[in-house]
Amino acid sequence: MGLIIALNKGRILEEALPMLAKCNIALSEDHKVSRKLVFGTEEGGHKIIVVRGTDVPTYVENGVADIGITGKDTILESDSLDGFYELLDLQIGACRLSVAGIAGVAEPDYGLRVATKFVKATKAFYEERGKEVSVLKLSGALEIAPVLGLSDVIVDIVESGETLKANGLEEKEKLCDISSRVIVNRASMKTKYSEIRNLIDGLKEVLESSL
């Protein structure tokens, strides 16, 4: 029985597919010219399903997919942590989750307001430091929140930091490194152990050969 693998749309999909192909899991048709969201493979009877990043853990937890590849930021925000194992860092899309605020302006000692998409990770970060904060959930354009006075700082994904600088912000502190991870359904790890282990070992070899 083949594996069912859930992948993020976008960058993760484009970078993960060549890695999977080197492990003999290659799509049977060109995903770039198809509107399909479920693809077969050339051999092995596997299936690749293409979903929104935030949905990958849900598909894996509920056993619709045996394996998922998604960002660490998505995993941190997931409510499905008990439903899967995180087995491998694929080092795709490396960046970091950081606190950023107006350049040269210190955080207030009390009543800190934080705007973010990453509510769970942000609350956990400040709770570990024993600091009470007010977390404001925003869906986008986080950089303007401190500039317009909605928040004191933001917690967001940072790659080069150029977007922060362009909006008068600076990186204050890193919460954690972010990259794409392989997650596996707990039941599938038992019922499809050999197939999953072979794929994980194959991906490790791909990573090692790229160093």
Residue 56 in contact with residue 183, Cβ under 8 Å?
yes
DSSP H or E segment with residue 205: helix 193-209
Structurally, how many domains does the chain consist of?
A: 2
Residue 155 in contact with residue 175, Cβ under 8 Å?
yes
Cα–Cα dist 129/126, whole Å? 5
Indicate if 79 and 137 belong to the same structural domain: no
- As a 3-state breakdown, the chain gives helix, strand, coil percent values, each rounded to 5, of 35, 30, 35
Indicate if 161 and 188 belong to the same structural domain: no
Nearest-CA neighbor of 206 among 62, 91, 97?
A: 91
State pLDDT tens for residues 143-169: 999 999 999 999 999 998 899 999 999
Indicate if 126 and 147 belong to the same structural domain: yes
What is the domain extent for residue 141?
95-176
Pick out the chain residues at pLDDT < 50. none
**Mean pLDDT for the chain overall:** 93
Indicate if 50 and 124 belong to the same structural domain: no
At residue 155, the pLDDT reads: 97
At residue 31, the pLDDT reads: 87
Residue 203 in contact with residue 23, Cβ under 8 Å?
yes
By residue count, the chain amounts to 211
Indicate if 85 and 189 belong to the same structural domain: yes
At residue 34, the pLDDT reads: 83
Indicate if 171 and 199 belong to the same structural domain: no
Indicate if 50 and 108 belong to the same structural domain: no
Indicate if 23 and 67 belong to the same structural domain: yes
At residue 206, the pLDDT reads: 95
At residue 49, the pLDDT reads: 96
Residue 100 in contact with residue 171, Cβ under 8 Å?
yes
Indicate if 103 and 159 belong to the same structural domain: yes
Q: What is the CATH number of the domain that holds 35?
A: 3.40.190.10
Indicate if 129 and 75 belong to the same structural domain: no
Indicate if 89 and 112 belong to the same structural domain: no
Name all contacts of 192-200 with Cβ < 8 Å and 24+ positions apart. 192/1, 192/3, 192/66, 195/1, 195/2, 195/3, 196/3, 196/66, 196/67, 198/23, 199/3, 199/23, 199/25, 199/67, 200/87, 200/88
At residue 1, the pLDDT reads: 74
At residue 210, the pLDDT reads: 81
Indicate if 86 and 183 belong to the same structural domain: yes
